[in-house]
Amino acid sequence: MVTAKLDPIVKSDLNIRLFRNVENVAELRKQIMTGQWQCCLVNPKFILDPFQLVIAANKALTSESRTTKTIFTEILFNLSISKNITKSLQQFGINDDCKDLLVVTIVEGNGESCGVFSDIIGEEVDLEMLEQISDLTAIKKAYKIGSNEEKSTTILDSIISRIATKDFISH
């Protein structure tokens, strides 16, 4: 698990855990959608670095208004460059075919983390395994990163810039 401090004004931490070979994804997805668990399940295929999740969460928590219904769908929405909510959630969220997933939780103050972890039938692995799961081609396509851009900046910097400026630039 990786814990990241978020913007001081939100007084929260972001916890990120990576699971592989998850057998009950459909059940977990249903539980999340019905509000049983306060977290988001992210498709790790589209995550180059956990910092993407930190930026998306900070943006979701510090925004004056939400585009989506919950803070967790807002994180998924913020990961995408699309302003289409459904497309964003489908792309960065999980589907029933996913076997690997990132679980993102927000812990306020000294509070407890979401209890979804005990329901996951799969293996928690070190977040460093993310680089083996990430699909660089899919990431570049999702963030519309061309070969010319790669010559002048890192892929992660391009991704972070797009997440941060999504509200101001149309793709």
In the chain, the number of structural domains is 1
Q: Answer yes or no: is 95 within a domain.
A: yes
Which is it for the CA torsion 72, 73, 74, 75, positive or negative? Answer: positive
**Residue 38 is encoded by which pair of tokens?**
């306060």
For 31-79, how does the pLDDT look when each residue is reduced to its tens digit (9 = 90+)? 988 888 889 999 999 999 999 999 999 999 998 888 998 999 999 999 9
- Chain-centroid distance of CA 153 in Å reads 22
DSSP assignment of 98-134, as one string? ---EEEEEEEETT-PPPGGGGG--SEEE-GGGHHHH-
pLDDT for residue 163: 93
CATH number at residue 25: 3.30.2380.10
Q: Answer yes or no: is 123 within a domain.
A: yes
pLDDT for residue 141: 96
Q: If you average pLDDT over residues 130-140, what whole number do you get? A: 96
Per-chain mean pLDDT for the chain: 91
pLDDT for residue 150: 87
Q: Answer yes or no: is 170 within a domain.
A: no
pLDDT for residue 116: 82
Q: Answer yes or no: is 113 within a domain.
A: yes
Which run of H or E residues covers position 17? strand 12-20
pLDDT for residue 111: 64
